[in-house]
Structure 1
Amino acid sequence: MDTSIPNSQQLWFLPLGGTGEIGMNMNLYGHSHSWLMVDCGATFQSPLDPKDDDNPRAKTYSVVAPDASFIEARKDSLCGIVLTHAHEDHIGAVTAIWPSLGCPIYTTPFTAEVLRRKFYQKGMYENLPIVEVAQNTTLDIGPFTVSWLDITHSLPEPQAIKITTALGTIFHTADWKIDRQPVLGKPFNKQLFTDMQKEKVLAMVCDSTNSLKPGYSVSEKACEKGLGNIISRARGRVVVSCFASNVARLITLVTIANQSGRYAALFGRSLENMVSVARRCGYWPDELKLTHRRHIGYLPAHEIMIIATGSQGEPRAALNKLANNEHRDCDLEEGDCVIFSSIVIPGNEKPIEKIISRLKERKIAVFQSEHTSEIIHASGHPNQGDLSDMYEYVQPKVAIPVHGEQKHMIANAEVAKLQGVQKQLVGKNGDLFMLKPSVAIKRKFVSTGRIALEK
């Protein structure tokens, strides 16, 4: 008898990635001799040993993912993979890991389109078992009844997941915040989550990324004014770097460019791909016009807006090339400005500082969200106020913080405790969270690690 697979009287949660770290989310839910995977993500420019995350001399790899060997060895008991949204830290490892699993993949149309293109780039485009699921749909997947719930984040079709079993219900938030004015999609719907009180939710597995921050996360709509103010004052070229997947931010930027008489161009393949996906799935407004990047070098400086990849200092991205004056399509000059419409992800401080230093040496103005009074970036994750409200809405018996370092998860657990949640379980990748027949953690149940997908 394999004691590493739960029986019909057991309900388990087992994170393989993303618990005790930010990124590489990979979660397993176990019940009745079956497993269900939620998300399969990757991270970038990271070492294979988590202890080396803060060591500048440690060898890093371009793309890193969780070691999925535990579930690969038990693939016959894996019912499927559920993907919550299209961010790389939730889908970036699928093309590498899925071939060894071979199970169906369930996700919404936007994420499915992003995923198909990733498979195509890897030369895999036939007989892919991608099952498109409409938002707010419920499906039976093995012994799990899975419900997709609209939630607000920073790209199209983000979904929270409700997993119902014969032993109880688990609410998996995935990435989220309370946004009542999203640029894309519907506003946050409180009713979806207060309705869960009737089901007496056993556990809430919750995003911890911003749990150290008081108050509420800023609405995506607020960026429009801040970015517009800075861009309206600019006299030269404007370069804005942001996360390519943030389609709402891209729409805001191109809207500002079109309204202010600037030609907007995309510098970076990931940006071009994401806008293409948005067009195909009906999320890109027809009236928003983009200019081909090859035309930008011939236009007057005050008529140019460049949206560039590289907000985290990636060496091969467009922003780094612009900072080094090595981009084939445009040179920056004194009097231009660069806006980082993003946050600094921990671990990326030094490469970002290098880019900023080079820009300032050339007398190019730099604006960062951390150092300007204008709102030029809105996180897609919940602050303490968002967390408190969600715990009040759902009223789970157990809080399981994930998607954060230890300090973030402890802070999340404290919010849950203040909201009256009976138990808070803080663990790490490889720990087994046993929810039925009793609530407990079995530490280091699985040996976990990282694998390099690209050098």
Structure 2
Amino acid sequence: MGLVGIRVYGGAGEIGGNKILISTKGTRVFLDFGTSFSAKRRFYGGFIKAKRFRVLEEYTLTGILPNLPGIYREDLLGGLNHLKADEPFVEACIITHAHLDHCGHASFLRPDVKLYAGATATVLLEAREETKTSREPEDQIVQMKDYRDGRVYRRRIETFSTGKRLRIGDINAIPVHVDHSTPSSYGLVLELDEACIAYTGDFRLHGPMHKMTEEFIDRISAEGVDVLIIEGTRINDPSIHSEENVMLSMMSSLRDARGKAAVALIGLLDFDRLKSLISAAEHVGRELVLSPKLAYVIDRLAKRATNIRVPELRSKVLSVYLEPSSSGGYDPEKDYRGWLKKFLGECMDTGVSLVTPEELARQKDKYVFTLCQTEDLPELVSIRPEPGSIFLFSSSEPHNEEQEIEREKVVNWLELLGMRPVHIHASGHASQNEVIGTIERVSPRTIIPVHTEHPKMFQELLGRQGVKSKVVEPALSREIAV
């Protein structure tokens, strides 16, 4: 074993699920601890779900989670004595951004494993948790429940912004912002006594905040990186579509839908896409009606004074959808519960416009009904869009069979209602040329491709460019010595 070891427990030969363990003589740190949706899909789905009391036993058996002692919550370990330990096996986990394939399974980490995350990313994690109907262990990154005594407590998360030095044992970690399809995304520079390691997280160079990624690349180029752990989601895809092109395409599609209903599906955390949709709607004289969940996330960000500018819910171009309760009523006091009851009450108190499905149905060409999850599609039944109305697909591209099935359900609804699908998207991930160009600029000694189904393409493409960096294709849990 070398003085520094790298083990990839998730993200090797798959898109997402990143769990990268960095080990030195005295310190162990995870870079991300995401949900591997491809691993889960092999054993679970539909009615097949893990039992709460043995979720760790099932997930470690199936390889969804690594079989490592001293990292998991004690209240979920049950009889897994080989995984119990008095002291944590790792000191910390650094979350690069709030997408679940990078942070989702941090919910299983024991509370004395310290979590680090961007300040805005932490607000996003909290808001997403608050709006979930499920409260299983898998949904508890921030607010946790100890199933032994029922105690609910908040996990300690230390927040950071770009450039802040995180001293974790003998590892000096420096987060530097990058552009991705969610705010508060970071790459990491790890300064060790023996080596310098850089980790891109998820990044792109064609987005509206591409200068942030340029700053990260400049930083790691100047550092002189020994090992570059780099994402390669689109290493097989040279195409580039900018956010400006997305906005122009949306505007054109909305103009074509004059006199008819317009619905858009965007990612919950993709605020660049939301801004593009707002601009396109303004240009054609429409207002956005936001799903309550999306509006709630915007509201939480605005109130927590993060360093991101979010749309003002009380503006003339935004309204919030007054979703009927399960009984069909609209009274915030009687018909809603939890976060939704509180949020709708705040909207009424502060003058935020609320729009019912009946209003959407009456004035179809006045609004763009904006959804952030496919579960909301049945709401279209109340709106009754006429044939020829448009549906803007503008969430992430499907990367696996499960996402294809989800997309198929959307298409089935649209065909049923006679709506016209229009796919408009710009990826949150670097294109082939952006990935290879980044490696050329940084010129690391060793490259470890993660978050990709095509790791072998790295050697082939770099060879064509005459890049001499050594490509080490990670095998799950096998140590790469530095």
Contiguous gaps of at least 5 residues in structure 1: 1-5, 369-375, 436-455
1:101-112 paired onto structure 2 within 5 Å:
101-112=111-122
RMSD of the TM alignment (CA)? 2.9
Name 2:367's counterpart in structure 1: 304
- SS of aligned partner of 1:367: strand
Return the match for 2:309 from 283, 293, 299: 283
Deviation of 1:210 after TM superposition, in Å, equals 0.3
Secondary structure of 2:421's partner? strand
Alignment match of 1:115 (pick from 125, 146, 152): 125
AA aligned to 1:108 is G
After superposition, where does 1:79-158 map in structure 2 within 5 Å?
A: 79-95=91-107, 97-98=108-109, 100-117=110-127, 122=140, 123-124=143-144, 126=153, 128-158=155-185
Q: Deviations over 1:175-199 (max 9, x none)?
A: 00113x51xx562453542443443
User: Partner residue of 2:458?
Assistant: 412
Alpha carbons of 1:60 and 1:413: their partners in 2 closer, same or farther (altered >3 Å)? Answer: farther
Q: How much does 1:419 deviate?
A: 4.8
* Number of the residue aligned with 2:34: 41
- CA–CA separation in structure 1 for the residues paired with 2:476 and 2:172: 25
Q: Which amino acid aligns with 2:68?
A: F
* Structure 2 portions without partners, runs of 5+: 72-82, 145-151, 323-354
SS in 2 for 1:78: coil
Q: What is the CA–CA distance in structure 2 between the aligned matches of 1:431 and 1:387, rounded to whole Å?
A: 24
Partner of 2:65: 67
**Post-superposition offset of 1:76:** 2.7
Report the counterpart of residue 443 of structure 1 in structure 2. none
Structure 2 letter corresponding to 1:105:
L
SS in 2 for 1:307: strand
Quickly say closer, same or farther: Cα 1:41–1:273, change in 2 above 3 A: farther
Match of 1:13?
Answer: 6
Higher helix share: 2
Tell me the CA shift for residue 141 of structure 1.
1.2
Contact 1:22/1:403, CA 8 A, preserved across alignment:
yes
The yes-or-no answer on 1:381 pairing with 2:429 is: yes
Task: State the alpha-carbon separation in 1 of the partners of residues 50 and 470 from structure 2.
Answer: 38
The CA distance in 1 between the partners of 2:435 and 2:218, in whole Å, is 14
Match of residue 24 from structure 2: 31
Q: CA deviation at 1:126?
A: 4.4
Alignment of 1:365 with 2:420, yes or no, is yes
1:351 aligns with 2:406: yes
User: Are positions 1:392 and 2:440 aligned together?
Assistant: yes
Once structures 1 and 2 are overlaid, which stretch shifts more, 9-18 or 142-151?
9-18
1:433 equivalenced with 2:480 (yes/no): yes
Calculate percent identity across the aligned residue pairs.
Answer: 21
The alignment partner of 2:7 has SS state of: strand
Count of aligned positions? 398
Matching residue of 1:401: 449
For 1:390, the aligned partner's letter is T
Q: Which residue of 1 aligns with 2:79?
A: none
Q: What is the Cα deviation at residue 24 of structure 1? A: 1.8
Report the counterpart of residue 386 of structure 2 in structure 1: 333
The whole-number CA distance in structure 2 between the counterparts of 1:257 and 1:88 is: 30
Q: What amino acid does structure 2 have at the position aligned with 1:80?
A: A
**Could you tell me whether the CA contact under 8 Å between 2:188 and 2:200 is conserved in 1?**
yes
Give the whole-Å Cα distance in 1 for the aligned partners of 2:273 and 2:242.
Answer: 11
Partner of 1:255: 279
Superposed displacement of residue 158, structure 1? 1.2
Q: Per-residue deviation at 1:365?
A: 0.9
Is the deviation greater in 258-267 or in 158-167? 258-267
Structure 1 residues 33 and 189: alpha-carbon distance in aligned structure 2, compared to 1, 3 A threshold: closer
CA 1:242/1:285 → structure 2, altered by over 3 Å: closer, same or farther?
Answer: closer
Taking the aligned partners of 1:227 and 1:119, their CA distance within structure 2 comes to: 30
Kept in 2: contact 1:384–1:415 (CA 8 A): no
Given the two structures, how large is their TM-score scaled by the length of structure 2? Answer: 0.75
Q: Is the 8 A contact 1:265 1:296 kept in 2?
A: no
AA at the equivalent of 1:399: I
Post-superposition CA distance 1:307-366 (Å, at most 9, x none): 1133xxx5xx112x146x2xxx53333231111113223212233223313422432111
- Indicate if the aligned counterparts of 2:225 and 2:444 stay in contact, CA closer than 8 A: yes
The letter for the 1-side match of 2:200 is T
C-alpha contact (below 8 Å) 1:40/1:94 kept by paired residues: yes
Supply the AA of the counterpart residue of 1:42: T
The DSSP-based 3-state class of the residue aligned with 2:318 is: coil
SS of 2:20 mapped into structure 1: strand
Of 233, 238, 244 in structure 2, the residue corresponding to residue 214 of structure 1 is 238
Residue 74 of structure 2: aligned partner: none
| Distance (whole Å) between structure 2 residues aligned to residue 158 and residue 367 of structure 1 | 28
SS of aligned partner of 1:171 = strand
Q: CA-to-partner distance for each residue in 1:25-83, whole Å, 9 max, x for gaps?
A: 21111111321011122255x66474x69xx9995779989414415247634121111
Residues in 2 aligned to 1:386 and 1:154: alpha-carbon distance in whole angstroms = 16
Secondary structure at 2:238 match in 1: coil
CA gap of 1:15–1:86, structure 2 versus 1, over 3 A, is: same
Q: Which residue of 2 aligns with 1:450?
A: none
CA distance in structure 1 between the aligned counterparts of 2:3 and 2:467, rounded to whole angstroms? 25
Deviations 1:242-296 (A, max 9, x none): 2111111112212322342222112362x23432343232421335742121224
Specify the SS of the correspondent of 2:251. helix
Q: Secondary structure in 2 aligned to 1:292?
A: strand
